[in-house]
Chains A and B, each alone.
Chain A
Amino acid sequence: MSEQKNPLLSVRGVETYYGNIVALRGVDMDVHRGEIVTMIGANGAGKSTLMMTICGDPRARNGQIVYDGVDITQMPTHEIVSLGIAQSPEGRRIFPRMTVMENLQMGAALVDPEFFDEDLAKVFKLFPRLKERISQRGGTLSGGEQQMLAIARALMSRPKLLLLDEPSLGLAPLIVKQIFDAIRELNEKEGLTVFLVEQNAFHALKLAHRGYVMVNGNVTMSGTGAELLKKEEVRAAYLEGGRH
């Protein structure tokens, strides 16, 4: 996964504000095709803001985001998503009163219906638990199942780039492992490119090919997952005590 000429997603000098409050202070990062890239950092570092900015909500005030050769910095969200970026947002945000099936249909809203059955079979193979729950309402699922549903829903849009915002949030270690295994499987078998925002630095860095560390809206460190895991600063700030 060494440096390629032409990254799938490239973020250059992106600054994002909430009103007058600065959230991102010029972030640079790349995601290459077939990679799993993770962004770790503490609460409020701006990880989720970066992910939302990539999706165009909020828009970046300065800087440039290029996806697959297209400048998406000022595009509306639904057009960005239609280019092949799927997001599983923070806190899962499944549709609680709709069934699992309907949630998945919503994920496939932009896709030609002829692919639907094939894609459905694929996500059920990845998360068999969802198939059991197919006619259950989303809100009645457990946290882990909801996270699976959120990822499955994002996959239904046939993405080239999958953005995952804290998939381990509030889940038991065993479920986290299941979900991370599924992400690795997607990447290895399907060649799906994944950008993962995580607080669970140990798991995220172990899973990812490359990682970035974000502090106060700045990217302070980057390297391969293994390199970052070894770094003393990373260990001290994000790993000690958080190791499973």
Chain B
Amino acid sequence: MAMNGSNKAVGTQPADPNSFAASVKDAATAGFLVAVLGFFFIGVRTDIAPGGLDLKMRWGAWIVSILVVFAGRLLLNLFVFKTNSPITQKFASSMPGNGRFAGAGKWMMRALFAFALILPFFFITFFPNKDRQFIDLAILIMTYIMLGWGLNIVVGLAGLLDLGYVAFYAVGAYSFALLAQYLDIGFWFALPLAGILAACWGIVLGFPVLRLRGDYLAIVTLAFGEIIRVVLLNWYEFTNGPDGISGIPKPTFFGLELKRGEGGFADFFGIAYDPIQRFIFLYYIIFVLALITNFVTMRLRRLPIGRAWEALREDEIACRSLGINTRNTKLTAFSIGAMFGGFAGSFFATRQGFISPESFTFLESAIILAIVVLGGLGSQIGVVIASIVMIGGIELLRNLGFLQQIFGSGFDPVQYRMLIFGLAMVLIMVWKPRGLISTREPSVALKEKKRIGADMVAQGEGH
């Protein structure tokens, strides 16, 4: 407050927008607005009473809401809006991706990879009571990482905003489920088929939207996602509609089922059966699938087709003027992205053992897209971080039982997850508008060291 005091001492300039008085005044205005607006919304309550409605005044709630807004606005004014050094600046500058973390980022990636490699055994050793829960969560996060990487090809690299990515996830899941149900095909055989089918649907979607960009493309893909879901929901004879498909077979380990007793995995290797083995197995399947997704994406980025995707994102007209066949480039992006969605979908089906159209709503597309955007378009490691934060975050909310002691026993933090994510997304977009990891790694590095010779400097002629 010393600063504010000195402001007053300097005297006759009340115009300082960052003074304490201005902050209080602004907060009081906000409080007044709440008092006016909230009088009917919060302060007055109607109840059904015999013979009509009964009007009840809730002065307490009204006053509390005014005070909450006043105090909140005042704090924001003092620390963020009306101060010369907003505390948010510190957060922003401490975010990764500013260049100085480049070296640390590499080590972090390696550490993350090593941890992912030993993750199931880590949880068995250190959290023996909760290992199944944690490994299951890791499987879920890994699925979203894979989906995020798949969508990253379409949105991050090729720059085609796809709001219906979950459609390919659904195609993959239903491909496996239906193949298993009607033709009795196992997971490993169905997996590539599901990928191919999803890729075909990617092309089917790709063709009509070739001429569209930006908002228009987004709307069409959104509609496509809904069409797939609605077809699955209504084609009762084939897909079992809203009842879903159950009894989807589990994956086998080279023909060995992970089950109790004779002929199972544990029996064959002569170890004791433990249900956790199935979780570990599933974890490694999705881990390998995700790694394949990442590996293929990274390879493709270095190939002409990957560069063409990125160039397409940058400038479509320039692409065409360089002789890039933009139609084929878009179609490959759609189909390869869709293929990985299909793989993830059939893994989802085998993990759950039961699927229904419920699992493939627009919300799923939105979450996957949010993972890609929050992580930083085109950034592979960004997707990993965003998946852990977003999917892990939902689970974390389930474990915040102590909050019930503060907010009462009816309080369920999970119900607020969308609110919290909305807030988190707004905050990240304010501080890091291009996502958590916004630096783009060039796909080619120089073989020779960069040296600026005198002859080149001379050429610049002083410019």
> Which residues of A does B touch, CB under 8 Å?
55, 57, 76-78, 80-82, 86-89, 93-99, 101-102, 105-107, 109-110, 128-129, 131-132, 134-135, 137, 142, 144, 153-154, 157, 174-175
Contacts and interface: CB of A to CB of B under 8 A. Distances in A.
B460 A129 contact: yes
B311 A95 contact: yes
B317 A89 contact: yes
27 contacts: A55-B320, A77-B320, A78-B324, A78-B325, A81-B321, A89-B321, A93-B321, A94-B318, A95-B318, A96-B315, A97-B310, A98-B307, A98-B442, A101-B442, A102-B307, A106-B307, A106-B322, A106-B324, A109-B308, A132-B452, A132-B456, A134-B446, A134-B450, A135-B445, A135-B446, A142-B463, A144-B463
A102 B455 CA distance: 24
Interface in B315-333: 315, 317-326
Contacts of A128: 455-456, 459
Minimum-distance CB pairs A-B, first 10: A81-B323, A95-B314, A93-B318, A87-B321, A78-B325, A128-B459, A99-B442, A128-B456, A110-B323, A77-B320
Given A88-B321, A98-B311, A129-B456, 20 more contacts: A55-B320, A57-B320, A77-B320, A77-B323, A81-B321, A81-B322, A94-B315, A96-B315, A98-B307, A98-B442, A99-B442, A99-B444, A102-B443, A106-B324, A110-B323, A128-B455, A128-B456, A128-B459, A129-B459, A132-B452
A81 B323 CA distance: 5
A106 B317 contact: no
Given A82-B323, A110-B323, A135-B450, A96 B314 contact: yes
Contacts of B321: 55, 77, 81, 87-89, 93
A86 B326 CA distance: 16
Contacts of A154: 322
Interface string B261-305: 000000000000000000000000000000000000000000010
B461 interface: yes
A109 B456 contact: no
Contacts of B443: 102
B288 to A, nearest CB: 30
A157 to B, nearest CB: 6
A93 B317 contact: yes
Given A77-B320, A89-B321, A95 B446 contact: no
A174 B463 CA distance: 10
B130 interface: no
Contacts of A137: 440
Q: Which of B308, B314, B325, B440 has the most CB of A within 10 A?
A: B314
A135 B448 CA distance: 12
B187 to A, nearest CB: 39
Nearest to B460: A129
A142 B452 CA distance: 18
B444 A106 contact: no
Contacts of A109: 304, 307-308, 322-324
A95 B304 CA distance: 15
Contacts of A98: 307, 310-311, 314, 442
Interface string B425-463: 000000000000000101111100010100111011101
A119 to B, nearest CB: 14
